[in-house]
Amino acid sequence: MDYTQLNSSHRKDMLQMIGIDHVDALFEAIPESIRCADGLDLMPALSELELQRSLAEMASHNHGAHDMACFMGCGAYDHFYPALIDQLISRGEFLTSYTPYQPEASQGSLQAFFEFQTQIARLTGLDIANASLYDGATAVAEAALLATNTTRRKEVLVAETLHPEYLAVLRTVLSDLNITIKILEATNGKIDPITVESNCSEQTAAVIVQSPNIWGQVEDWEGCFSKAHDTPKTAAIAVFNPIASSMLKTPGECGADIAAGEGQPLGNALNLGGPYLGLLSAKESYTRKMPGRLVGMTTDEQGRRVFCLTLQTREQHIRGAKATSNVCTNQGLMALRASMFMTTLGSDGLLEMAEQCWHKAHYLADEIAKLDGWKLKYEGVFFNEFTVECPCDVTEVVEFCKSRGVLPGVAAAGRRMQELSSGNELIIAVTEKRTKHEMDALVELFREISP
């Protein structure tokens, strides 16, 4: 971004344009009693060179996945993305674009969103996908709303193994809507289809199951969704990992009616926690109540292929009181990155990435399990994330590894999981970026800290 200072002449012209003599006149509406009379306690002005050195020194204290081996996950993953994505996304027409209401002036953006929708629909094995949501948590909430708006029922069954932060957002969104959330208890880290069957009723709008779940376990989607469908009109909602979907059975293949997920792994950096993007797809029967925007393809009067916003099911200026969602924008820039990422890697590249995640995670899990006192919490199938029980305080493990330049994973007790955690679980994620050297080094650190 260009940095051009304003000079006194610029300021004078601007003040004259709005009819005041001094900048203080802009703040006359603020009572004197709450103004800062003594000035701000700021460091003295620096030259450009001094400022660069000062900022560089402050930045040197920040450490994370950019300079440490990262085994953290729980919804945000340190995946590789090609350098060309940063180059393409930095073009002005992408960085500054807004929701493309005028199709005649926005064909490029509309085509990009159309391609994104197509890619997500294929990735999930479902009929339609919208032009992205805020993040994975709100996508799950929107999926639940989509089901309740469609079925007119007021109960949602949620797997205990859903990401706890997703559950917290879901509870917040549904809290004023007279919709009941019922938790499905897990057995050995997963949901038994019999549990779904015994809890479903004619009041159940949807069953929400995440796979891989918060512990990393691959759930029995087919079994759970089959039992959900035994109750007519009940929607099966799959919360999915887009990288895993390129290797494991897709939500659609497992019987899901709606799929929601976090799109961060698709070419978006960790970004200190955001912005990310929410993924949402569904069967065609849900089209009319789909939140956000659906971009469609048609032809103009001259027979040329064109794109337009086909449905805007939320917009108050269109739907008013009949709006089915409060989504007021999309994560267009993040969705475009995801589309670039999927296009660059292609189906073969995504599959190779998923396979590397799978094999490396299983190698590391096997090596950790050989250590005295360390064991896998669950024996079920996992993708690239698994949970270990530490023989000592998990907080000490995390801090010790951080001091050696490694982010070893996420302490379960600190992720709104106090009710599910025994206190010493460490959730470890392995992506294609992790090397054998890094994984072996993590094992040695665990061995060193073992009592």
Across 286-295, 404-413, 426-435, which has the greatest mean pLDDT? 426-435
**Could you give the CA distance from residue 203 to residue 156 in angstroms, rounded to a whole number?**
9
Cα R_g (the chain), whole angstroms: 25
* 320 and 372 assigned to the same domain: no
Kindly state whether residue 22 falls inside one of the protein's structural domains.
no
Kindly state whether residue 24 falls inside one of the protein's structural domains.
no
Cis peptide bond prior to 265, omega within 30° of 0 = no
Q: At what angle do helices 436-449 and 394-403 cross, to 10 degrees?
A: 130
Q: How many domains does the chain have?
A: 2
* 217 and 314 assigned to the same domain: yes
* 310 and 383 assigned to the same domain: no
What local confidence, expressed as pLDDT, does residue 119 receive? Answer: 97
* 207 and 278 assigned to the same domain: yes
| Mean of all residue pLDDT scores within the chain | 91
* 154 and 281 assigned to the same domain: yes
**Main-chain dihedrals φ then ψ at residue 196, nearest 5 degrees:** -65, -45
* 194 and 294 assigned to the same domain: yes
Kindly state whether residue 108 falls inside one of the protein's structural domains.
yes
Kindly state whether residue 159 falls inside one of the protein's structural domains.
yes
What local confidence, expressed as pLDDT, does residue 416 receive? Answer: 63
Residue 309 β-bridge partners: 295
What local confidence, expressed as pLDDT, does residue 321 receive? Answer: 67
Kindly state whether residue 38 falls inside one of the protein's structural domains.
no
Average pLDDT over residues 129-153: 94
For residue 1, name the pLDDT band (cuts at 50, 70, 90): very low
* 130 and 273 assigned to the same domain: yes
Q: Which of 309, 341, 373 is the last residue of a domain?
A: 341
Q: Which of 341, 373, 398 is the last residue of a domain?
A: 341
Q: Which of 341, 375, 393 is the last residue of a domain?
A: 341
- Domain with 156 in it: what CATH number? 3.40.640.10
- What is the value of pTM for the model shown? 0.88
At 435-444, the pLDDT tens digits run: 999 999 999 9
* 275 and 392 assigned to the same domain: no
For residue 242, name the pLDDT band (cuts at 50, 70, 90): very high
At 67-87, the pLDDT tens digits run: 999 999 999 999 999 999 999
What local confidence, expressed as pLDDT, does residue 143 receive? Answer: 97
Provide the domain limits for residue 252.
83-341
- Domain with 406 in it: what CATH number? 3.90.1150.10
Average pLDDT over residues 19-37: 89
At 333-374, the pLDDT tens digits run: 899 999 999 999 999 999 999 999 999 999 999 999 999 999
Kindly state whether residue 418 falls inside one of the protein's structural domains.
yes
What local confidence, expressed as pLDDT, does residue 77 receive? Answer: 97
* 189 and 276 assigned to the same domain: yes
* 283 and 380 assigned to the same domain: no
* 218 and 297 assigned to the same domain: yes
**Main-chain dihedrals φ then ψ at residue 112, nearest 5 degrees:** -60, -45
At 188-205, the pLDDT tens digits run: 999 999 999 999 999 999
For residue 296, name the pLDDT band (cuts at 50, 70, 90): very high
* 255 and 130 assigned to the same domain: yes
Kindly state whether residue 54 falls inside one of the protein's structural domains.
no
**Could you give the CA distance from residue 148 to residue 136 in angstroms, rounded to a whole number?**
19
Kindly state whether residue 230 falls inside one of the protein's structural domains.
yes
